Structure formats: C-alpha cells, structure tokens
Structure 1
C-alpha cells in the first residue's frame, strides 16, 4: 500500500483523484476507472504504481470488495489491465445486461440530438459487440433517431460512412 511519504503517491494525490465508494452502477465504475487512468497516463506511472494508487482510492463497499480481491490475487504481479478487468467485474452481470438492454432500446424520443448522442455513447460502452464496427455503430445510432431526422440524414448523403458524419448530419437536420 502507498504511504504518505511515498513521492509517487504524493504526486498522485496532488492530482485530486476521486475516491470510489463502491456503487454498483456500471457507468460510475467505468467513469471512475477512465478518470483515474487518465491521471496515471499523465503521470506516466507503471503498472504496480497504478494498482497501488487506485487501491488507495477505494472506500466503503469498494474497500471491502478490494480486501477480497487481495486474498485471491498477487498484487505484486497485478497489472493495471488486470485491475481494470477486475474493476469491471465489480458490478453484476444482471446490471450489465440491463445497460445493454437500455442501449438496444434507446431512441431519441423527446431528446435533443446532443442528449441522445451522449446517452448513446455512454450505453455503447457496455455493448461493444453490438457496435463492433463503424457501420454497426452508424446503423444502431440511425435506428434510434426520430424518423424525420433519420430521413433527412439519409437524404443528405446516401453513403454516410462514419459515425461523426451521421452526428453532423443529424445536428444539421435538427
């Protein structure tokens, strides 16, 4: 465990990383992991330093979970990729399945394009096999758009190739 006199941990702490208390909401877990990983990348920490620093941020239920993980894993050989994967298993398969279902049924409805896109992107993280390619991502995104906007996007460019192009066309159509 990192101690207060550890210069790496002190540098890390100065970045004001958020703690993680252990809510089993996949988006919160993913957001926390990504935010902490960005700090690690900025600081150019090695795997061992990343694991130690991340473990220090775990509080309450997450700390209890980590104590169990420590009993079954060798922390001296654990990589950040291992920690990241273990972190993803923190939330249950049922919660993950719910997020995938929400992604599959997501439609624009009364949302503005920007709000729909934010939700789409957030939920897509939990269904990578459904949007495995750019074409699959575009197809799924288009399926959720309001009919009139989807029609306008198709009319402006019969061969929309990228997700970014679809988003631009949808914003124009709105």
Structure 2
C-alpha cells in the first residue's frame, strides 16, 4: 500500500468516525429533549428540512468562511465542517457549491473565479469536483505525506 493510499484510507476512516460521533450526539440530544434520540419521528432527534434548502437555511447553520491561511490543513478542516452542515440540509451538489462559494473571502475569491471560469458554460460543478479542485490547490501533496508520516510515528 502506498503512502497516498494509506492517507486516503485514514481520511475515510476519520470521516466515518466523525459521522458516527455526529449520530451519537444527535441521539443523545434527542434523548435529553425527551425523545427516543433517532432521526425523524416525533422523538425530537435531528431531522432534515422538508423540500430543498434555501441559502437562508444554509446560513442558519452558521457555516464558517474561508480566508487565506498559513496552515494548509485548515482547508481540510473547513471542508469537513461544511460537510457536517450539509447533513442538516436538503441540498443538491450544485447547490452546495453555489452556497459554499459565498463563504470564500478575500483572495480566496480569485481561486473561485478561476475555478468557475474553467467550467463549461452549461456545466454546474458538483461538490466532488469542487472539493477535489480545492484540496489540490490548497493542500499540497507534500503536506499530506508529512502529516501521514507524523501520524504513523505516533
């Protein structure tokens, strides 16, 4: 297994455990409110909005903004927080990209303008395309390899 493959596996495991922790937190919150703790039903657990989510719905989740930073892994952290927010909403991939683009501030808007301009006129970028391009630009492969080495040395 190559270092890159190990990093992909490590990141996937991290995402899965983060999701499991979110589900447990939702269940505990639902139980604390007197419900059964699951999603949906009348138990008070977390549930998605009915129908497509609006930009206002997205803003109500208090999504973080992203500005230029010296720490490349801040970009990964920002994307993970946004993906957690999406779990609360009913959004399509293209909608996620349009909403998140508004969270890029300062010089980060130049990256978005370039990314958007490189798309075909009739193509709306998907969340996967956005995150792949964003990670490639803001998180150099050398940083990922260095962090993987540091992790493996723990």
Q: TM-score of the superposition, structure 1-length normalised?
A: 0.52
- Asked whether 1:89 is paired with 2:130, we answer no
Runs of 5+ unmatched residues, structure 2: 1-52
- Mapping of 1:21-170 within 5 angstroms? 21-23=67-69, 25-74=71-120, 76-91=123-138, 93=140, 96-104=141-149, 106=150, 120=151, 140=152, 144-145=153-154
Deviation at 1:24, TM superposition (A): 5.6
After superposition, what is the alpha-carbon deviation per residue over 1:127-168, rounded to whole angstroms, capped at 9, x for unaligned? xxxxxxxxxxxxx4xxx35xxxxxxxxxxxxxxxxxxxxxxx
Q: 2: distance between equivalents of 1:102 and 1:38? A: 23
Spell out structure 1 runs of 4+ moving beyond 4 A. none
Runs of 5+ unmatched residues, structure 1: 1-6, 107-119, 121-139, 146-174
After superposition, what is the alpha-carbon deviation per residue over 1:71-93, rounded to whole angstroms, capped at 9, x for unaligned? 10148421111111011022263
Q: 1: distance between equivalents of 2:129 and 2:70? A: 19
After superposition, what is the alpha-carbon deviation per residue over 1:70-118, rounded to whole angstroms, capped at 9, x for unaligned? 110148421111111011022263xx314423432x3xxxxxxxxxxxx
Considering only aligned residues, what root-mean-square deviation do their CA atoms show, in Å?
Answer: 2.1
Larger radius of gyration: 1
Matched positions, count: 101
Number of the residue aligned with 2:61: 15
Q: 2: distance between equivalents of 1:10 and 1:56? A: 12
Structure with greater proportional helix content: 1
